Amino acid sequence: MKICPNCGGSYKESEPKCPYCGMINETGAEQEYSDKLNKIRNKLDNVDELAVADYKGDLKLFFKIFLITLVIAGGITFAAASAQYAKRNRLFVDERANMDRVIAEIKETRSYTDKWDELYDSGDYEAMYESIYSTMGEKFNNYDWQHYKFYTTYAAFRDAENRIEECGTEEGASKYKKTGALHAVLYVYYSAISSRNDGKFTEEEAELFNTRWEELVKKTCETLQMTEKELDNLRIRANSDSYPSYSEVSDYAKERWGE
């Protein structure tokens, strides 16, 4: 089972998103996207051959039915056969229209990646993030984009930093808000620093994330009045080298800040 880092809900690992709050599940969504893309590619490879085969098969069926109807029942049977052919033709047209729509969406997304690549190459990651977020919103799932992993990790940093900032600016922040902020911080560790990411980032990306992690730790400890040792103990307790446990963070928050 998977725990949603946003709302704490529990659901199957294979689900593409949290059924409670809609937050994207990277593993499940990536598999769903790959499956759909493979189906589309297979259909595109075979669509012309299938169209010819269907046409020939339908043509033969039409003449057979036509000859039979002339001998047996005439116009009634012919009308039924024609209706069946029309239905199958409509189904084919609808299926092709759906494929065309998906392909158009993919092409549209591709049209943005050149701009994002330029921003990434220039090191303007904030502008890259803003461009992607303003274009795709929270549902960005272009998994085959070469910098997708970097973007999602950068976005995780943004989310954690904003949550900690909210706790610092809101007098008497609730235990629930502190729990969410701490869990977001540990999710950053899981996404950017833990051993699961070995080899997934370039040296420059890893250096950026390590520096930003140190800054996030200091800000978190300052805002929530924790020591770095306490935060690291919570990280170990929540097992953030795999997927951070929201329930462990919630228990910690309850122990520290009460109900």
Q: How high is the mean pLDDT of the chain?
A: 83
CA-closest candidate to residue 13, choices 4, 217, 22: 4
Question: In this structure, what token pair is assigned to residue 181?
Answer: 């902020």
**How would residue 107 be classed by pLDDT, with cut points 50, 70 and 90?**
confident
Which amino acid belongs to residue 45?
Answer: D
Residue 31 is predicted with a pLDDT of: 76
**How would residue 171 be classed by pLDDT, with cut points 50, 70 and 90?**
confident
Which pTM value belongs to this model?
0.60
CA-closest candidate to residue 169, choices 120, 219, 128, 208: 219
DSSP H stretches of helix in 123-227: 125-136, 148-169, 175-188, 203-224
| Mean local confidence (pLDDT), 75-95 | 70
How far CA 217 is from CA of 3, 17, 78, 225, in Å, comes to 23, 28, 77, 11
Which amino acid belongs to residue 155?
Answer: A
Asked if residues 2 and 31 have their Cβ atoms less than 8 Å apart, the reply is no
Rounded Cα–Cα distance for residues 173 and 109 (Å): 39
Asked if residues 113 and 145 have their Cβ atoms less than 8 Å apart, the reply is yes
SS3 at position 76: helix
Residue 53 is predicted with a pLDDT of: 59
Most confidently predicted of 11-25, 63-77, 110-124: 110-124
Which residues have C-beta within 8 Å of that of residue 159, sequence separation ≥ 6?
Answer: 184
Question: In this structure, what token pair is assigned to residue 19?
Answer: 């059924």
Top pLDDT among 233 and 33 is at 233
Rounded Cα–Cα distance for residues 173 and 94 (Å): 53
Query: Degrees (nearest 5) of the Cα angle 142, 140, 204?
Result: 70
Helix, strand, coil tally for the chain in percent (to 5): 75, 0, 20
| Mean local confidence (pLDDT), 157-168 | 95
Residue 112 is predicted with a pLDDT of: 83
Buried b (16+ CB within 10 A) or exposed e, 154-187: bbbbbbbbebbeebeeeeebeeeebbbbbbbbbb
Dihedral angle of Cα 204, 209, 214, 220, to the nearest 10 degrees: 160
Segment (H or E) for 10: strand 10-11
